[in-house]
Structure 1
Amino acid sequence: MNRKPKNLFKTTVALAVANALLAGNALAENESEQDIEKIEVTATKRVTSIQEVPLAVTAIGGDELVDMQITDILSIEKAIPGVTVASFGNNPQVILRGAGSAGTTDIAVPIYHNNMYLPTTGQALAGYMDVERIEALRGPQGTLFGRNTFGGLINVITKKPDTEEFDFGAAITVGDYGLLKTEGFVNVPLGDKVAFRLTAADEQRDGYVENINNPDGDLKDSDYTYVRGQLLFTPTDDLSINLTMSHWKDTGNGSLNWAYKAAGIPLDKNDPTKINAIDGYLDPRMGIYVGCEGEPDRAGGRSQAGNVCAGDASASIVSDPRKIDYDYTPIRELEETAVYLNIDWEVANHSLVLNAAAFDYQAINLMDAEFSSMASWVDGTYGTTKSEQVDFTISSTFDGPLQYTLGAYYFDSQDPDNKSAYLFGSLTESWYAYAGATPETPSWAYWNREGRGGTKSTALYGQATYSLTDKLNATAGIRYTEDDRQSQRSNSLAGSLGWGNWDDYLGPELPSFTYVDGNGDALPTEVGKDENMDYRLGVDYQINDDVMVYASYSTAYIAGATDAATQKLLDPQTNKSYEAGFKSTLFDGDFRLNGAIFNAKYEGLTTTAFIEQGDTGVAVATQVPGGSINSRGIELEGFWDVTDDLVVDFGVSVDMSEYDEFVVNAGNLVINDSDGNPVKPIGSEVIDGGFGFVMDGENTPYTPDLTVGVGVSYFFDLGDMGTIKPYVHTYYNSGYMTNRAPAFFGEQDAYAKVDLSVKWESVDGDFTVQAYVNNATDELIQTYTEILSRARVAYDYAAPRNMGIRFGYNF
């Protein structure tokens, strides 16, 4: 019985990108005699030592995902040094080496599923079921991957059908908060050339956040189903065709849109009539603070949330961060249907791989807009994303000093049904434009608009490695990209339905918008095109059988937004990144230590500018290219078999990312004085007629200076009774900002989080029972901070301490 983990946790390995990187590493000549784990590379089916890959990549095996209770993208950061996940609403965002922390017009660190790019971050909320491994690739990867690998990527690889034998497995997890999760798979060979694999799961869980006003409005719950079917056809030993269809749906209340927990208004400590987001204090209310006897009125807050001085309980805030007092029951539905095709053909000493996918993703989220128990306002978003993509590569597999990969990629999300909107509505007849509104039938605001559009992108790319000597290899890659972006803005609701037709504004169905003018002609469509060349250069040197060093330079690009005036794309975002690292295997193969240093320069990031509107003298904040970030740091990963039974894994990241040039709009912190004139928020500056924070030299959000993760496991052999493996994982984070502004309330302090588990496994490995406690120290961890209108602050937090038991059979 193998009592060691089937896959190394947090071990650097190039799995999907190895087409070009692995071939030139003189694998046969430099193969160590030590017991270094071998792993099957997806694209080439070539077995090689993971320690000879000149690239910083973290891989997490499917078994380790289960052991560490990594069930989705929101729990992955503890396993990948340097990764932070900013979570709010339905939009998880991965930040890696500073990329994604600020100002890109598309996803900076995308999620891939089975080598296919997910065009919206919400699609990454799908849970991890029947997963082979997850790969986190750092730095630009455009010379080997399809799209938008600006700062790296995370690739989720699922298990494939097997023609060899019938197999099945299942698991049931029960836990606190009413958790009941069932999942399983079945693999059915249909002859020696065809196999079918079905994977399914269902999860029900009560909310982590209690709504004391409305039990149906608890948040952070789960109501989730998932099913995936795969059909594998292998007509010859050299040709495989795999067709996959998946569908998942989540109708839980979720986390609202921007953040779920009202926190208060940031006031100046010496003058509560002024907003001070720099070093003030939070006045715990969402409502207004006027008419208070013996004291001045306090700034900020919404009248629709009540008046604190009038004794309205709805204006105040429940102090417990895990409790809310909201009246509205959220409406939330996420749904995705996806089809994947993979064709892998080994012919004429080459590997030809075709990956294609089509996605249909829809999301709607309506929430309590004033964050109170008053039946007042709702707001939210909805959107549809339909897309298709094809990625074709040719990789050499013959022996020789030169190895290469050539690829072509096509992406299209310009489906006419791709629409999205921000919605605002009233639950009461607060004024004439909301006539007929009730909590059951909200009246949508007349100024609501919808937008539609999408992107077409084509790319040609290639990468080659040449063995200069039996120890020294050189790598070069190039990518050419063309992007075509379109966007069209609808009429307002008043323009679509007619001003004053209030009955047509009533819900609960979503409103319908028009895209034609008064003459019946289509409203203008903004169209922009751009092209770009990216590069990669690298060298690696095998010092001896146990130590390899490498260095690389790579670039990346994201197309800018469409300029309405010029009908062209604005300047793109760019990344110029340097990396140097080493791979080492010590102590007779028992200790693996890998490290990398990096330096990246992100330019053209979208930052705030203030544009004067005609002759009015009024400046309106808008996002324009021009910001920049410097990112540099060190990453270390290790795995140590201390004894046959004791295993230690660890990861360390030092990240010194900071703004180079960047301005953050202070708009939502601006409050008018008694004469109706805007008051400059404390700490902000007057910039072109508007108020903003100059962030030059400040740390970027979601980039802690230091993170350290250490896991320790020990195997107890019970003989015929199987084994027991306790596992302790400790994660330290030095703290970070959760908002781009330098606000005191956006600081997440340093914390240390501990996860515990103990797993029993039968002698044959078929049966397992695992008890776990996630966040055993019950740390309160900010994942997002939002500054709402009239200086109101709201937070989103990661999951509290939670525990459960998982019973598994062969799964």
Structure 2
Amino acid sequence: MKKKYNMLSKTTVALAVANALVMSGAYAQVEAEKEIEIIEVSATKRVTNIQDVPLAVTAISGSALVDMQITNVMSLEKAIPGVTITSFGNNPQIILRGAGSAGTTDIAVPIYHNNMYLPTTGQALAGYLDVERIEALRGPQGTLFGRNTFGGLINVITKKPELEEFSFGGAVTLGDFNLVKTEGFVNVPVSENIAFRITAADEKRDGFVENINNPAGDIKDSDYTYVRGQLLFKPTDNLSINLTAAHWKDTGNGSLNFGYKPAGIPLDKDDPTLINAANGFLDPRFGVYEGCADGSPDRPGGRTVSGGNVCDGDPFATIVPGARTIDYDYTPNRELEETSFYVSIDWEVAEHSVLVNAAMFDYQSINLMDADLSGLASWVDGNYSTSKSKQLDVTVSSLFDGPLQYTAGVYYFNSQDPANRSAYIFGSLVDSYSGYAGATPDTPSWAYWNSEGRGGTKSTALYGQATYALTEKLNLTAGIRYTEDDRESQSADPLSFGDTAARLGPKLPTRTYGIKEVQRGVDENTDYRLGADYKVNADLMVYATYATAYIAGSTDVATQTLLTPQTNKAFEIGAKSTLLDGDLRLNVAAYSGKFEGLTTTAFVEQGTTGVAVATQVPGGSILSRGLEVEGFWDVTDALVVDFGVSIDMSEYDQFIVDAGNLVWNYGDGPVGPIGSETINESFVYVVDGQDTPYTPDMTVGLGVSYFIDLGDMGTIKPHVFAYYNSGFISNRAPVFFADQSAYTKLDLSVKWESVDGNYSVQAYVNNATDELIKTYTEIFSRARVAYDYNSPRNFGVRFAYNF
């Protein structure tokens, strides 16, 4: 039976790992008298069965990530009930319990790496490599974690150096789309108290989206390298110091900035010369929505951005068939690069644990893509950014016996580096109007109206959380966190319209600062957590919590203060149980929350003109309610089932969405989308009571593994994972063309492992049903609609030694 326990420890998707107190000492242990794996954690620096931790958490072991082919953040949602991850260029966005679906001025569900906050979501695109586990904490975690845990957080924890023995491992994965991925590690004990670990990976893969006009311009490809070095120094049994340096660079074409596949123009069924985004149809032509001169009743026609018309036979006015086929002329210019340094000190002294975590990040990205989405050499657009930051988190936790256990800490974050700049980029590749004289594909002319800004946030916090055992069965928990946020920003000086020579490429023009004032605002906030848990018996624990969360608002130009922050007040009740003589672990959590102060659309009158201009202001709200169920069932000695169910009823409470690019019918004045309201000839959707985007009413994940013992030949494990999603809307506006209908995805794999567990071969098929899923819907100027889609069916084989 020992062999089976080893296999389970490598494949189990654990249902919870540490309460957010201190995460450095979590570990798994198998009890000999039970067949299901028992997860134990040191959530309060005291070893505790995970079933006793009163918190809704999902954790995925590093080996489970490999078995489920979860290679980066974009494939993580199938393992965490209720999580949806959108594809948004270089910035994936996590939506959890309604948080992140709309209206926040910062990341609502952040990614942490070794307990350190990543200030940009683009940093999460680095592939998972030599990972110990990933933890998803659902619901606000503001009293213990660094920043912006508005709806929860994802924490990626990597493997650390080991002092016991020299070891190494590696893997090679080959697959379709010419996938070649190599990865490996080496762990070297230098002495009894010093060891280092080096981990590296390189991946190359052709694009999932074929560019028939320019083979070098395929997108959704992969081309990255990653290396991480760690040094562990453990001078005594009670003190350990871990130093980490990592570098990651991605030069693949990646995704477009928004949607990559043009789909057409939303037209009214009765009058195809007008837009109807509420209940119309998509005319599958690229360009604007003007009809042909001959008045063809069956084809309203379309016009390209260059002025060509489908009515005149312009081939670029026709959309290329196939959801994963494009015909763009421009080869993407994209590069992501990050250098990071970490320090982690764990010291046990005077019956307390002192944990010091510090990190520095230097991340920069550029993404320049085909803006006209066609084979014409006309426009490109994109963005670039630099993000330098540093942070420090110090916690002190009790270790002594007694009814009271506590953690206290201080947190500091600073991204106010003068080099931190970001900009939207737009340029013309052809000599044309609006100051683009002299532009060619080799020397683009950059738009004079391009905007660049710089700034950052300085955040300090004091926090504490304590648990008191009233009886052997009843515990009470209270937490508090005081945060002060200082935000600053400044816009660059405008470029000259007349100085076209200064704006000619290939390099971007240099921006200066000084004309516009620095905007700065400071705000403070206090978050709370109150909870109770009750041990009904040895196999059942119930709990209830109330927690708040906070994201600082943006700077008010007039008052130089921060606008109303975004807040979340959330309730959660749950139960954790072990049933069927220990063979079934079943956890349930029900939640309710209200997000307030979200940025929503309002119209502000400009001076005495009486003209109102749409702007984003605080004032929107969302109601978040739902139920989550997770389970792991050791059905027989050979059959293992894990499952997760999420029922999410999140909806807008009070919210207005600007109709933006949907409202203008050129030549005839403004034409509002059906179902919208008009204010001073601008149109908005009032979405009160409607479902929030990217929040399906139900998701179900079911994994089934079967172990076949081959004796001295090792074991074979077939694995099937099915994921059902009830569907969602993929845009903030309630437009018909953004609906994603229900779907079921199926992933398959079979893994052979040697008797000693050192050698393995795994064959896999991801998205075996080849489902086509909208991950994002973009509405461009002139009401053009474009989609971003998920990855197609893909397969491969992974050969590994001790990895």
TM-score (norm 1): 0.96
Per-residue CA shift, 1:418-450, capped at 9, x if unaligned?
000001110001126111100111100111121
The letter for the 2-side match of 1:183 is: E
Aligned counterpart, 2:599: 606
Counterpart for residue 733 of structure 1: 725
- Aligned match of 2:736 in 729, 736, 744? 744
Match of 2:774 in 1: 782
Comparing 758-767 with 40-49, greater Cα deviation is found at: 40-49
- Matched AA of 2:599: T
Match among 702, 707, 714 for residue 694 of structure 2: 702
Deviation of the 1:206 alpha carbon? 0.2
Amino acid paired to 2:502: D
Partners of 1:62 and 1:752 in 2: how far apart?
25
Specify the SS of the correspondent of 1:755.
strand
Q: Displacement of 1:20 after TM fit?
A: 11
| AA partner of residue 752 (structure 2) | W
Q: What is the CA deviation profile of residues 731-772 of structure 1, one whole-angstrom value per residue up to 9, with x for unaligned ones?
A: 000000100101111011000000000000000000000000
What SS does the corresponding residue of 1:88 show, helix, strand or coil?
coil
Which residue number corresponds to residue 6 of structure 1? 9
- 1:614 deviates by 3.1
Instruction: Report the equivalent of 2:141.
Output: 141
Residue aligning to 2:126: 126
SS of structure 2 residue aligned to 1:231: strand
Q: What TM-score, normalized by structure 2, do the two folds share? A: 0.96
Q: Is the 8 A contact 1:403 1:466 kept in 2?
A: yes
2:182 is matched with which residue?
Answer: 182
CA contact (8 A) 1:603 1:629 kept: yes
**Alpha-carbon deviation of 1:311?**
0.9
1:805 matches 2:800:
no
Distance 1:595 1:787 in 2: 39
Letter in 1 for 2:127: G
Partners of 1:576 and 1:602 within 8 A in 2: yes
CA distance in 1, matches of 2:54, 2:25: 8
- Contact residue 670 and residue 681 of structure 1 kept, 8 A: yes
Match of 1:520 in 2: none
| Aligned residue number for residue 340 of structure 2 | 338
Q: In 2, Cα distance between the equivalents of 1:300 and 1:552?
A: 55
Q: Name the amino acid aligned to 2:407.
A: T
> For residue 405 of structure 1, what is the aligned residue in structure 2?
407
Amino acid at match of 2:142: G
The within-5 A match list for 1:688-727 is: 689-727=681-719
User: Which residue number in structure 2 is paired with residue 219 of structure 1?
Assistant: 219
- Which of residues 437, 440, 451 is equivalent to 1:438? 440
Q: Following the alignment from structure 2 to structure 1, what is the Cα–Cα distance between the partners of residues 752 and 682? A: 62
Say if 2:611 and 2:680, in contact at 8 Å, map to a contact too: no
The residue aligned with 1:681 is: 673
Name the CA distance, whole Å, in 1 between partners of 2:22 and 2:519. Answer: 39
Mapped contact 2:587–2:631 kept (Cα < 8 A): yes
Residue matched to 1:239: 239
Displacement after TM superposition at 1:473 (Å): 0.3
Question: Alpha-carbon deviation of 1:493?
Answer: 1.9
Contact 2:292 2:300 in 1 (8 A): no
Letter in 1 for 2:742: A
Aligned partner of 1:651 among 610, 624, 644: 644
CA contact (8 A) 2:291 2:302 kept: no
Report deviation, 1:486.
Answer: 0.2
Displacement after TM superposition at 1:307 (Å): 1.4
Aligned mates of 1:639, 1:229 — CA distance in 2: 35
Alignment partner of 2:334: what SS?
strand
CA displacement 1:322-364 (0-9 Å, x = unmatched) = 1011111110000000101100000000000000000000010
Aligned mates of 2:520, 2:335 — CA distance in 1: 31
Cα separation, partners in 2 of 1:746 and 1:222, compared to 1, 3 Å: same
How far apart are the structure 2 equivalents of 1:748 and 1:42?
42
Tell me the CA shift for residue 37 of structure 1: 3.6
Calculate percent identity across the aligned residue pairs. 71
From the superposition, tell whether residues 39 and 18 of structure 1 become closer, same or farther in structure 2 (CA, over 3 Å).
farther
How far apart are 1:597 and its partner, in Å? 0.3
The residue that corresponds to 1:570 in the other structure is 563
Residue 509 (structure 1) shift: 1.1
Deviations 1:390-433 (A, max 9, x none): 00000001100000000100000000000000011100011261
1:763 equivalent to 2:755? Answer: yes
What SS does the aligned partner of 1:542 have?
strand
Aligned match of 1:27: none
Q: Deviations over 1:69-94 (max 9, x none)?
A: 00000000000000000112001111
Measured in 2, the distance between the counterparts of 1:529 and 1:301 equals 49
Whether 1:377 aligns to 2:379 is yes
SS in structure 2 of the partner of residue 168 of structure 1: strand
Listed one character per residue, the Cα deviations across residues 218-263 of structure 1 (whole Å, up to 9, x for unaligned) are 0100011000000000011000000001110111111110111111
Secondary structure, in 3 states, of the residue corresponding to 1:668?
helix
How many Å separate the matches in 2 of 1:352 and 1:549?
Answer: 30
| Residue 161 (structure 1) aligns with | 161
Structure 2 residue aligned with 1:354: 356
Decide whether the 8 Å contact of 1:485 with 1:562 is kept in 2: yes
Q: CA deviation at 1:781?
A: 0.9
Paired residues for 1:5-404 under 5 Å: 5-6=8-9, 9-15=12-18, 17-19=20-22, 34=34, 37-39=37-39, 41=41, 46-288=46-288, 289-295=290-296, 298=300, 302-304=304-306, 306-404=308-406
Equivalences, count: 794
Q: Aligned equivalents of 1:16 and 1:475: distance in 2?
A: 12
Query: How far off its partner does 1:295 sit?
Result: 3.6
Shift of 1:306: 2.9
Equivalent residue, structure 2, for 1:623: 616
Instruction: Name the stretch that deviates more: 702-711 or 46-55.
Output: 46-55
CA–CA distance in structure 1, aligned partners of residues 43 and 60 of structure 2: 18
2:501 corresponding residue in structure 1: 503
- 1:539-578 equivalent positions in 2, closer than 5 A: 539-578=532-571
Change (3 A) 1:301 1:32: farther
Deviation at 1:548, TM superposition (A): 0.4
Cα displacement (A) at 1:319: 2.2
Equivalent in 428, 450, 461 of residue 426 of structure 1: 428
Unaligned runs of 5+ in 2: none
Distance 1:32 1:616, change over 3 A: farther
User: How many angstroms apart in 2 are the aligned matches of 1:408 and 1:432?
Assistant: 53
Amino acid at match of 1:510: L
The Cα of 1:690 is off from its aligned counterpart by: 2.2
Task: Specify the code of the residue in structure 2 equivalent to 1:202.
Answer: D
Q: Equivalent residue of 2:311, what SS? A: coil
**C-alpha root-mean-square deviation of aligned residues, in Å?**
1.8
Q: Deviations over 1:519-564 (max 9, x none)?
A: xxxx300000000011000000000000000000000010000011
1:169-203 per-residue CA deviation (whole Å, 9 max, x = no partner) reads 00000000000000000000010110000000000
Quote the Cα distance in structure 1 between the aligned partners of 2:24 and 2:246.
31
SS of residue in 1 equivalent to 2:502: helix
Q: Counterpart of 2:581 in 1: which secondary structure?
A: coil
1:291-317 per-position Cα deviation (integer Å, ceiling 9, x unaligned): 431348959865326311111111111
Residue 578 of structure 2: aligned partner:
585
Instruction: State the one-letter code of the partner of 1:474.
Output: L
Q: CA deviation digits over 1:565-624, x for unaligned, max 9?
A: 111101000000000000000111110000100001000111111223334444322111
